[in-house]
A and B are shown apart, each in its own frame.
Chain A
Amino acid sequence: MMLKRFSWHQRLAHFVGSVSGMMLLITGLPIMFPEHLGWVFGIFGGSTVTMFLHRVFAVILIFSFAYFGTYFVLERIVRGRGDSNIKNFGLSAEFISEVVAGAVRDILWTLGLRRERPKFGKYDWIMVSDIYLLPVLAFIEIITGTIMWFPRSFDFVTSNPGLFFVVRTIHAGVAFFLLLFVLAHAGILHLTPGNFPINMSIFSGKISRRKAEVEHEKWVEVAEEVEGEEKKSSSKLCYVFGAITIVNLIALAYVPFAMRNEWLAGLRVSGDGIVTFALGLGVVTLIVYVIASVIAFVKGIKS
């Protein structure tokens, strides 16, 4: 038995936003770390093409931000919150304290310090945090990216060219955080027991009732039942890939410690084995995720 978890618009928004976001990382990171990721320019046919592609994917990201942002806000106003547990656009003190309490209790349960796992609605605390954090980070990238694309349209840059580099540091810093986010996000949702090799919910829009009863207990009663078959997976390989992602994240966490403040050139990292390994594996993983997302999205439409 399956439940309807995501609407067509939600699936499309995740697909367009995540693929353009990952392509922006793949085309942007080699500019930030040319010594370590120079080979990426080779894949695309040189740095000029790569920078051009960065702007093409930027346009796609801006489209998805404006289109889906407007769509979801209007849908919420017109149709109400439906089966979502996010009340008042998530802006009330009551809702925020509910999310924080859920996070604390959930972590305590995981660590064995609490008997019962808290019950969650459609979106648990980490999903609610993602739903709010990601659009904010995308918006920062859009604003800072626009300033770097059209520096002459911004008075503060033409009256002091040095400020251009402040904008670039912010753009690059948020980008690095997004790399950590994607690896953690996909690692938790796909490389875990029960989900590996792929959690199709965001692609097919469906989740099994059995899974939802444990993970989104309070949502099950308001969720809509749909046709579809559940695929069970129990491969032990998930631990191998899970370990690879965690090692990758640890190596990436080391990178900021190796960054040096090079004045207007921003934060620079010199050749270093761990950094080269961390960034290389990270970008290879992103390429795999882009391909996997396209395949899964097409499969999701057919299902």
Chain B
Amino acid sequence: MSRAIVAVAFVVALIALYPYVSNISTASSLKGSYVFKWSEIPIEKRGTLYEESLKTVTKFNNAVKVLLEIAGIFVVILTVIEYYKYYKIHKEEVE
């Protein structure tokens, strides 16, 4: 049974990898089809699209910044608490 599980998981992984491996030549950003350029957008649409995306990007930038500020403080507090917990546990284990 476990061989069958390995086989199925392997097939799933190969299928998942196919699009990446078949395009590995694009893996160096110099060669690949990197960033889509504004110049490829029709000139009459460019202005409004730019304005619009600027708004969306700003929203996300600000949201990610706030989330990281909170996450940083949270991780520091949790790490200090957990470190102290292992200190207490170790005292118990030694006894």
Contacts and interface: CB of A to CB of B under 8 A. Distances in A.
A166 B85 contact: no
Most B CB atoms within 10 A — which of A63, A210, A255?
A: A63
Interface string B67-87: 111011101101111111111
A48 B30 contact: yes
Contacts of B94: 194
B95 to A, nearest CB: 10
A150 B88 contact: no
Interface in A144-159: 146, 149-152, 157-158
Contacts of B35: 151, 161, 164
Interface in A202-254: 210-211, 214-215, 242, 245-246, 249-250, 252-254
A185 B10 CA distance: 29
Given A58-B20, A158-B36, A162-B52, A181 B79 contact: no
B20 to A, nearest CB: 5
A103 to B, nearest CB: 10
A203 to B, nearest CB: 19
A261 B56 contact: no
Contacts of A253: 69, 72-73, 75-76
Nearest to A261: B61
Given A253-B76, A261-B61, A74 B8 contact: yes
Contacts of A266: 57, 61
Interface stretch (A81-89, A169-177, A292-300): A169-177
A20 interface: no
A43 interface: no
Contact of A110 (B5, B65, B88): B88
Interface string B33-50: 111111011000000011
A287 interface: no
Nearest to B70: A256
A261 B12 contact: no
Interface stretch (A34-42, A65-73, A91-99): A65-73
A66 B61 contact: no
B60 A170 contact: yes
A131 interface: no
A259 B60 CA distance: 13
A111 interface: yes
A172 B33 CA distance: 21
A55 interface: yes
A107 interface: yes
Contact of B38 (A161, A170, A214): A161
Contacts of B57: 162-163, 165-166, 169, 263-264, 266
Given A66-B12, A253-B72, A263 B54 contact: yes
A176 to B, nearest CB: 6
A106 to B, nearest CB: 7
B68 A177 contact: yes
Contact of A169 (B52, B60, B83): B60
Nearest to B5: A74
A62 interface: yes
Top 5 closest A-B pairs, CB basis?
Answer: A162-B53, A253-B72, A192-B86, A256-B68, A67-B13
Given A52-B28, A66-B12, A150-B33, 14 more contacts: A62-B16, A66-B13, A71-B9, A160-B49, A161-B36, A164-B35, A188-B82, A192-B83, A194-B90, A214-B92, A249-B75, A249-B76, A254-B72, A261-B62
